Amino acid sequence: AVAASLRPEPEAPMSSTVAVRNLKVGMFIRLELGWLSHPFPLSSFKITSVDQIATLRGLGLERVIWLPEKSDVDDGPSVPDGVTPAAAVPANAAAAERPPSDAERQAAERREQLAAQRQAMQQCEARYDEASAALRQVNALLNPNPVSAAQQAQALARAMLDKMLAEGELCIRLLSSQSGDRFTAHALNVTVISMLMGRTLGLGESELLDVGTGALLHDIGKLDLPTRVHHPEDAFSSTELKAYREHVALGVTRGRQMQLTEGALLVLAQHHELADGTGFPQRIALDRMTPASRLVALINRYDNLCNPGPRGIALTPHEAVSVLFAQSRSKFDLPVLSGFIRMMGV
């Protein structure tokens, strides 16, 4: 940590603006739009095709932020035909002509694979950060404009389906980083894994959007409770436990004010119900739980085991899945639990 503090801070890249009509492939740009207002996976990216330029023009923007230092646009003079730049001539031409050995070729392939993995992970992390910011905007709208908050939540679920779930394994790997506040991180963790599970199980698009919207909002009832009862503890009094469990009913009330779809609303109502009828608040069994609720109930429990409240003991993902399988098989939909274990690769 001391060594890290002694490192010089990297210089921020210089930026300017460029007219959309003058965009070129290779330019690195940043859109000053919310993640939900454009179809691109990230708000900052390098243009790689003319189709992207056409899409940008279709957004109705006049100018965008341009970062020349991160761009690959070559505006310099071209090299005349028949002239080889000195920098392009290897110091040892004979060595350059020698074909690489198998070991060299394998090492080069390994470097390329690692570089591609790092780039994909960085992009996944950036998408997670943008989704976190979008969810915080949803939460900020809950009191002044609940219907608008619901529309934003549905749009966020749609964007996550389109922009995040393609990199399923990477999305799962980055969830342990817990960037941002616990409330937002928990909602996103449950949403990402629940939607991945829903897609694996073959749910249709409308059901996936109900899963996503319901998972994003499943704990909104806690916003009406004191922070000290947001996470259950063994030392809770009966009054404190009752207050904690009240977040489900409070969330359903908010969900109705938001005019959520019936499928998303049932996720809020049933995300603490269990297959054997020992859950709360209605103590319903598996046959009365919706497919979306079965998913979210399982993933909610998993993330709470991995990332518990302030005084809880966090389990590793492997330990959490082992606990669910060994101690709670009767409490969750067994095909869903089995599919979840296969997906997580335990």
- pLDDT tens for residues 13-26? 567 899 999 999 99
Looking at the predicted structure, is the pLDDT value of residue 79 above 60?
no
Predicted local confidence at residue 290, as pLDDT: 97
Q: How confident is the model at residue 74 (pLDDT cuts 50, 70, 90)?
A: low
Looking at the predicted structure, is the pLDDT value of residue 83 above 90?
no
Predicted local confidence at residue 311, as pLDDT: 86
More confident residue, 251 or 84: 251
Of the listed ranges 27-31, 74-78, 182-186, 227-231, the least confidently predicted one is 74-78
The predicted model gives 229-243 an average pLDDT of 95
Residues 6+ apart with CB under 8 A from 241: 232
| Tens-place pLDDT, residues 271-290 | 999 999 999 999 999 999 99
d(CA 195, CA 264): 13
Predicted local confidence at residue 7, as pLDDT: 39
Average pLDDT over all residues of the chain? 86
Predicted local confidence at residue 312, as pLDDT: 87
Sign of the four-CA dihedral 55, 192, 231, 210:
positive
| Tens-place pLDDT, residues 289-330 | 999 999 999 999 999 999 998 888 999 999 999 999 998 889
The 10 Å Cβ neighbour count of residue 292 is 27
Tokens standing for residue 51: 């189709």
The predicted model gives 241-247 an average pLDDT of 98
Predicted local confidence at residue 85, as pLDDT: 42
Predicted local confidence at residue 339, as pLDDT: 93
Question: Edge-to-edge strands of the sheet including 44-46?
Answer: 16-19, 63-66, 28-30, 44-46
Predicted local confidence at residue 343, as pLDDT: 87
d(CA 8, CA 209): 45
Of the listed ranges 79-88, 115-124, 138-147, the least confidently predicted one is 79-88
